[in-house]
């Protein structure tokens, strides 16, 4: 019932977008469901300073990707985008703005500065975050002067939400996952950094991922944002120096192997969850 209702609303909205000239055909509006169902975390068009790029990371449908193949081909060697891995409808619904503000507005979250080393931390409630910090990134703001929520949750307070998450159905031998849940404005992101392997999943919005293998250190300034890097450095890169990249949307997973450099950029206001793997 609820699904039908949302669908009806979406197609009306699609027609509205066509009439408003945002999409040219019904299919261009309808196929990109992720950008339509933003869970109430809306983004105005003028605030979108970045667009999705090409996708040159392998994209696999979970139906055709066994755990064995994941291990042989990707786990230690290559990033991969995986579609249709889990049904996280229940978790997604709880992450809609209206539900989050109803149940979690007073919960505390820890914000980190959006530079490579994330030195600075601030603790606020979700309500304060949404009122004061959740803004689109501008091209002028530096990463070390931007606070954004990308994890570091108090799991006593957030357990009931995280419990609804169906984790990625692939694993790396002897490693276990720790979750990191976040919400951030259009144009925000984390500049290049690396750590152990893990998965990133977009709950609402779209996230553009840039990656380099461990032996190919990218050129970037640790206090400048991914948005600044995209506008300043990315354009100038020789084709052979370009990162691997892909933009993932609602319900899609991306896997990054151990020590692979990655930088992220939220195209829209985005809700996301990562699973960091460790021994
Ligand atoms: C942020 O980084 C820039 C450049 O690295 C530096 O000039 C500035 O003082 C830093 N801002 C703060 C608040 O530390
Ligand atoms: C980045 O910013 C931090 C604090 O905001 C500062 O201590 C550090 O020196 C800056 N790094 C560079 C390379 O400018
Ligand atoms: C986490 O939240 C609980 C419940 O509000 C609180 O008692 C605890 O001190 C918090 N832990 C940290 C590390 O902030």
Q: Are residues 209 and 263 in the same domain?
A: yes
Q: Could you tell me the two tokens for 72?
A: 């042989």
State how far the Cα of 83 lies from the Cα of 146, in Å rounded to an integer: 31
The arrangement of strands across the sheet holding 80-83 comes to: 58-61, 80-83, 253-256, 198-204, 270-278, 176-184
d(CA 235, CA 32): 26
- The residue whose C-alpha atom lies closest to atom 14 belonging to ligand 3 is 154
Domain that includes residue 59, residue range: 39-278
pLDDT band at 196; cut points 50, 70, 90: very high
Give me the percent of the chain exceeding a pLDDT of 90.
76
- From the CA of 35, how far away is ligand 3's center (Å)? 35
CA dist., res. 257 & res. 243, Å (int):
15
Q: How far is the CA of 273 from the centre of ligand 3 (A)?
A: 21
CATH number, residue 245: 2.60.120.650
Is residue 26 located within the same domain as residue 109? no
Is the same domain home to 166 and 187? yes
| Mean pLDDT for the stretch of residues 121-147 | 93
26 lies in the same domain as 128? no
* Ligand 2 contact, 54 CB (< 6 A): no
Is-contact 246 209, C-beta < 8 A?
yes
143 plus 19 within the same structural domain: no
- Three-class SS of residue 38? coil
- Both 18 and 43 in one domain: the answer is no
Question: pLDDT of 65-90, one tens digit each?
Answer: 999 999 999 999 999 999 999 999 99
> Per-residue pLDDT averaged across 114-132, rounded?
89
Whether 105 and 93 share a structural domain? yes
Tell me the mean pLDDT in the region 108-130: 89
Taking the C-alpha atoms of residue 125 and residue 93, their distance in angstroms, rounded to an integer, is 21
Is residue 88 domain-shared with residue 71, that is, in the same domain? yes
- Hey, what are 66's tokens? 């066994």
Indicate whether residue 144 lines ligand 2 (CB < 6 A): yes
Under the banding of pLDDT at 50, 70 and 90, the label for residue 179 is: very high
pLDDT score recorded for residue 21: 36
Distance 146 CA to ligand 2 centre (A): 13
In this prediction, residue 12 carries a pLDDT of 38
Please give the pLDDT value at position 28. 36
Whether the pLDDT of residue 16 is over 90: the answer is no
Residues 1 and 75 in one domain: no
CA count, 13 A, side-chain hemisphere, 219: 9
Mean of pLDDT values over 7-22: 38
Counted domains in the chain? 2
Kindly tell me if the per-residue pLDDT of 24 is higher than 60.
no
**Other beta carbons within 10 Å of 233:** 15
Residue 144 beta carbon below 6 angstroms from any ligand 1 atom: yes
pLDDT value for 33: 43
| Residue 145 CB–ligand 1 contact under 6 Å | yes
- What integer is the mean pLDDT of 178-202? 95
pLDDT of residue 154: 80
Over the chain, what is the mean pLDDT?
87
Tell me whether residue 61 is exposed, middle or buried, using C-beta atoms within 10 angstroms of its C-beta: 0 to 12, 13 to 18, 19 or more. Answer: exposed
For position 156, what pLDDT does the model report? 84
Q: Are residues 130 and 144 in the same domain?
A: yes
Q: Ligand nearest 157 Cα, by number?
A: 3
Of all residues in the chain, what percent carry a pLDDT higher than 70? 87
Asked whether residue 8 falls in the same domain as residue 111, the answer is no
What contacts 150, CB < 8 A, 6 or more positions away? 112, 180, 182, 184, 190, 272
36 band by pLDDT with thresholds 50, 70 and 90: confident
Place of tokens 């019904």: 26
pLDDT grade for 237, boundaries at 50, 70 and 90: very high
Instruction: Check whether residue 100 and residue 142 sit in a common domain.
Output: yes
Q: Is 223 in the pocket of ligand 1 (CB under 6 A)?
A: yes
Q: Are 41 and 97 in contact (CB under 8 A)?
A: yes
Distance 226 CA to ligand 2 centre (A): 16
Q: Which residue has the higher pLDDT, 217 or 9?
A: 217
């Amino acid at each position: 019932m609820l699904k039908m209702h949302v669908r009806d609303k979406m197609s009306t909205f699609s027609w509205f977008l066509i009439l408003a000239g945002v999409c040219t055909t019904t299919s261009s509006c309808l196929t990109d469901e992720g950008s339509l169902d933003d869970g109430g975390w809306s983004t105005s068009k003028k605030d979108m300073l970045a667009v999705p790029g090409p996708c040159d990371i392998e994209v696999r449908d979970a139906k055709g990707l066994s755990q064995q193949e994941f291990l042989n081909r990707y786990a230690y060697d290559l990033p991969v985008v995986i579609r249709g891995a889990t049904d996280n409808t229940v978790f997604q619904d709880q992450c809609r703005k209206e539900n989050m503000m109803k149940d979690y507005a007073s919960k505390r979250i820890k914000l980190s500065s959006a530079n490579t080393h994330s030195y600075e931390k601030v603790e606020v409630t979700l309500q304060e975050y949404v009122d004061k910090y959740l803004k689109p990134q501008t091209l002028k703001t530096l990463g070390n002067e931007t606070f954004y929520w990308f994890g570091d949750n108090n799991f006593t307070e957030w357990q009931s939400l995280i419990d609804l998450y169906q984790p990625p159905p692939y694993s790396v031998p002897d490693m276990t996952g720790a979750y990191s849940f976040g919400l951030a404005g259009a144009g925000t992101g984390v500049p290049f950094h690396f750590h152990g392997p893990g998965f990133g999943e977009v709950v609402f919005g779209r996230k553009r991922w840039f990656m380099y293998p461990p032996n190919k250190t990218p050129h970037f300034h640790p206090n400048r944002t991914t948005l600044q890097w995209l506008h300043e450095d990315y354009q100038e890169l020789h084709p052979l120096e370009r990162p691997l990249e892909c933009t993932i949307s609602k319900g899609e997973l991306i896997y990054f192997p151990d020590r692979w450099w990655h930088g992220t950029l939220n195209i829209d206001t985005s809700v996301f969850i990562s699973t960091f793997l460790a021994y």
